[in-house]
Amino acid sequence: MQEFQSWLVIPNNHDFSIYNIPFGVFYINNNLKSARCGAALGDYIIDLSCLYQFGYLNDIKNLSKEIFEKNKLNYFLSLGNETCNSVRKRIQSLFSEKNIELKNHPEHLEKILVPAASAQMLLPIEVKDYVDFYSSLDHASNVGKMFRDEKNPLLPNWKHIPIGYHGRSSSIVVSGTSFKRPQGQLCLPDSSTPTFDFSKQMDFELEMAFITNKKTEMGQTISPDNASDAIFGLTLFNDWSARDIQRWEYVPLGPFLGKSFASSMSPWVVSLDALSPFALAAPSKDVPELDYLRCSRLGHYDIHLEIYLQSEKMREPFLIAKTNYKHMYWNLFQQLAHMTSNGSPVSVGDVYASGTISGPTPDSYGSLLEICWKGTKPLSLPDGSTRNFLQNGDTVIFKGFAQKGNIRVGFGNLSGTILS
Amino acid sequence: MQEFQSWLVIPNNHDFSIYNIPFGVFYINNNLKSARCGAALGDYIIDLSCLYQFGYLNDIKNLSKEIFEKNKLNYFLSLGNETCNSVRKRIQSLFSEKNIELKNHPEHLEKILVPAASAQMLLPIEVKDYVDFYSSLDHASNVGKMFRDEKNPLLPNWKHIPIGYHGRSSSIVVSGTSFKRPQGQLCLPDSSTPTFDFSKQMDFELEMAFITNKKTEMGQTISPDNASDAIFGLTLFNDWSARDIQRWEYVPLGPFLGKSFASSMSPWVVSLDALSPFALAAPSKDVPELDYLRCSRLGHYDIHLEIYLQSEKMREPFLIAKTNYKHMYWNLFQQLAHMTSNGSPVSVGDVYASGTISGPTPDSYGSLLEICWKGTKPLSLPDGSTRNFLQNGDTVIFKGFAQKGNIRVGFGNLSGTILS
């Protein structure tokens, strides 16, 4: 990929470089009614409604002022990847070094560029169906080692099928949203009688989520090789988990209230287009895939992921683990192909989370459950405290970015705080 | 409850009697754009938009022409039970024997009354989150006896917690919708290698579903005694299941593609208000309920339920089982209280299905899996064929009604056909 510069001052190694141009929904002056669609560039948000009104997107079909004035990206994304990527490329062009179209119109720029620090972000999409997969081999193996069989940790279906389940759409919130520690039925391992109390085993799960931009009819399927037409892009995702609630409730129908109190999503959706330079081949597999899951295009992405924890007493976040989205066993195209293999309809604004992303080593695990290995290896924090699970006042921050030389495409921060 | 008559000719024992007045969404002349809200009365649909325009609903606050011109009930239901029930009672009054307000205006009646036979029905609501519970003791016991332990069929959590899981909203369709037999990963019990093929174990599940009409904030809970304020009413529900897909995929995160190909809902939502004369106390329980699940109001309903099957060769549907919604172990108020006990937000238009409703005897089981006891007791049909699971061309029809003397409140038919 060729390097190019912007005439706009963008700090080095900024997640929202000229190579990125992610989309989101912002508002200013605490006025929720002003919410509209934007694109991030450095420390600015590009007001897409303004950009359109001043005529800078005139050559792109199907756009309208109204589409950018919505408080969700669903309408924009429904125009399809060709249109959305044209807007992205047009913005890259307008802000590239040698282009003076917009640069020479300070009276436009003043309205188009909103300082990110003065804006607040909303959930970028209205979430339709939400699915959470379980597609990291190391994560599934760790869970199996802890709770089933050290030597044979994977269930027989795991390497054949991208295991997943439906989660609760209404509890997906944007980065920065705090939430109360949930209550629920808890049952100590040596008891058969539950109590109703606050969860004592609050955890995070580091995930990424992809967002669909197509509506399919019942009975229609999507193959792995066609799936990229139905996916706009990715966000960071925190599938907060109350382990004690989950353990008691999940047999036989899966996780329910141990997850549905809150899930957090980063506000900027990074397009597959922007991530394409970082695509990788799949790791080799010892179990052959069924035909409907075979993917001949690159479907893994080299995205560095970091987990930070900050207690109320700490002055800054503390890095507790690093991993990478490339560790996925099943890629996002296979996940969508599997989900639609029975003809289940996809909507614009579905969210498909990856499942916890763990790497092969303990410093690359994606949950406290794994990092502290079921409470046997407490995590020490710089404030002198230790953790097996999260405490009230703890803030968890995920960061993610892809980088090659000076070319960086990042996701910004995803943060959330547990309140008492 | 006092009996009263309507001046409109309504056949005896009609599900949509003057005591009922369920709400739904209909369109005429194959014109989807004409879709709007209606209420059922006998063999007619009352066009609520017309009724409003002619001024017959003038004394009820917060209504508007636009609310009734939507192609979903969500906006109407969001006005709350007081308003929706006022509309229902106003319709009962307008059509009751001694009221001549509307009767003496044939020019209005001509527009307000649409023959049901000339209309087509849509899904009554835009479905937000969809949850499926597992709250019938006999069903859970039957499944446990077949697949776990004949003598100890229930898992330790079952009598403490209303087990449930999230399902796929996008695949919920209205009665009358046919769908193709789904494909999926199947793995024979004695094999560890799956194939991808059409499900060979298609089944129905007889359920009822309640629909919420309130939006709650994250962290807010709803107690069993307050839950009726957040529920408008009930429909019949068929949680179609591909048993072979489900069996291979469901460990450890629950059902996914074995369910998400299609779920069917009846088009008319019957209000809790209309069902109140049929409310019952809960059956006695041998395990005490935790406080947050205690319900001091009547939360069970005496609703007769019938399952019919019709193959392509049969001229009419054949009754294969009868059961009753009163057999629920956890009632709908306890289900909603449990779902919100961790602070999970409720939306207007959430669907909460009961789980398969089975009674204590084999002629009252709610699925073919149970009726045929895992394939050991094939069902004989009048066309000479037998069934362990559904075949292509089979139509499954559910009926449901509550009745006391001449007072009948019914749900109409819920039907669906499996195509090849």
A9 Cα to chain B: minimum distance (Å): 39
**pLDDT at position B2:** 80
Hey, are the CB atoms on A160 and B253 less than 8 Å from each other? no
**pLDDT at position B419:** 97
Which H helix or E strand runs over A138?
Answer: helix A137-147
Hey, are the CB atoms on A157 and B194 less than 8 Å from each other? yes
Hey, are the CB atoms on B342 and A193 less than 8 Å from each other? no
Residue A190 makes CB contacts below 8 A (sequence gap 6+) with none
Q: Least CB-CB distance to A344: which of B128, B170, B343? A: B170
Question: Which CATH number is B23-122's, of 2.30.30.230, 1.20.1440.230, 3.40.50.10490, 3.40.50.720?
Answer: 2.30.30.230
Q: How many CB atoms lie within 10 A of CB B220?
A: 13
From B419, B330, B412, select the one nearest B45 (Cα to Cα): B412
**pLDDT at residue A72 tops 90:** yes
B310 carries a ligand binding annotation = no
**pLDDT at position A308:** 98
Q: Least CB-CB distance to A251: which of B155, B171, B255? A: B155
Separation of CA B389 from chain center: 22
Using a CB-CB cut-off of 8 Å, the residues of chain A touching B336 are none
Instruction: Examine the predicted complex and report whether its ipTM is higher than 0.85.
Output: yes
Does residue B139 carry a catalytic annotation?
yes
Hey, are the CB atoms on B339 and A192 less than 8 Å from each other? no
A192 Cα to chain B: minimum distance (Å): 7
**pLDDT at residue A1 tops 80:** no
Which H helix or E strand runs over B147?
Answer: helix B137-147
**pLDDT at position B3:** 86
3-state DSSP call for residue A248? Answer: helix
Hey, are the CB atoms on B194 and A290 less than 8 Å from each other? yes
* Residue-wise pLDDT tens digits, A306-331: 999 999 999 999 999 999 999 999 99
Q: How many CB atoms lie within 10 A of CB B189?
A: 7
Hey, are the CB atoms on A164 and B253 less than 8 Å from each other? yes
Using a CB-CB cut-off of 8 Å, the residues of chain B touching A159 are none
Pairing label, strands B44-47, B113-115: antiparallel
Residues of chain B below pLDDT 50:
none
**pLDDT at position A283:** 87
* Residue-wise pLDDT tens digits, A210-250: 999 999 999 999 999 999 999 999 999 999 999 999 999 99
Using a CB-CB cut-off of 8 Å, the residues of chain B touching A179 are 218-219, 343
CATH superfamily of B130-419: Fumarylacetoacetase-like, C-terminal domain (3.90.850.10)
* Residue-wise pLDDT tens digits, A246-304: 999 999 999 999 999 999 999 999 999 999 999 999 988 999 999 999 999 999 999 99
B276 carries a ligand binding annotation = no
Q: Do the domains A23-122 and A130-419 sit in the same CATH topology, yes or no?
A: no
Beta bridge partners of A401: A304, A410
Q: What is the mean pLDDT of residues A386-410?
A: 97
Using a CB-CB cut-off of 8 Å, the residues of chain B touching A157 are 185, 187, 194, 248-249, 251
* Chains A, B: CB pairs < 8 Å: 189
B345 Cα to chain A: minimum distance (Å): 6
A329 carries a ligand binding annotation = no
Q: A191 pLDDT band (50/70/90 cuts)?
A: confident
**pLDDT at position B190:** 82
Q: Are A398 and A391 in contact (CB under 8 A)?
A: no
Residue ranges of domains in chain B: 23-122, 130-419
A320 Cα to chain B: minimum distance (Å): 27
Question: Over the range A223-248, which residues count as b (16 or more CB within 10 Å of their CB) and which as e?
Answer: bbeebbebbbbbbbbbbbbbbbbbbb
Beta bridge partners of A30: none
A246 carries a ligand binding annotation = yes
Catalytic-role residue among A14, A105, A108, A139? A139
Mean pLDDT over each residue of chain A, to the nearest integer: 97
**pLDDT at residue A167 tops 90:** yes
3-state DSSP call for residue B291? Answer: helix
**pLDDT at position B191:** 86
**pLDDT at position A48:** 98
Pairing label, strands A407-419, A179-180: parallel
B98 carries a ligand binding annotation = no
Using a CB-CB cut-off of 8 Å, the residues of chain B touching A134 are 253
Using a CB-CB cut-off of 8 Å, the residues of chain A touching B249 are 157, 161, 163
Hey, are the CB atoms on A262 and B346 less than 8 Å from each other? no
A334 Cα to chain B: minimum distance (Å): 14
Q: Least CB-CB distance to A168: which of B129, B180, B291? A: B129
From A296, A166, A406, A159, select the one nearest B192 (Cα to Cα): A159
Hey, are the CB atoms on A343 and B179 less than 8 Å from each other? yes
Q: How far apart are CA B276 and CA B258, in angstroms?
A: 35
Using a CB-CB cut-off of 8 Å, the residues of chain B touching A167 are 166
Hey, are the CB atoms on A170 and B128 less than 8 Å from each other? yes
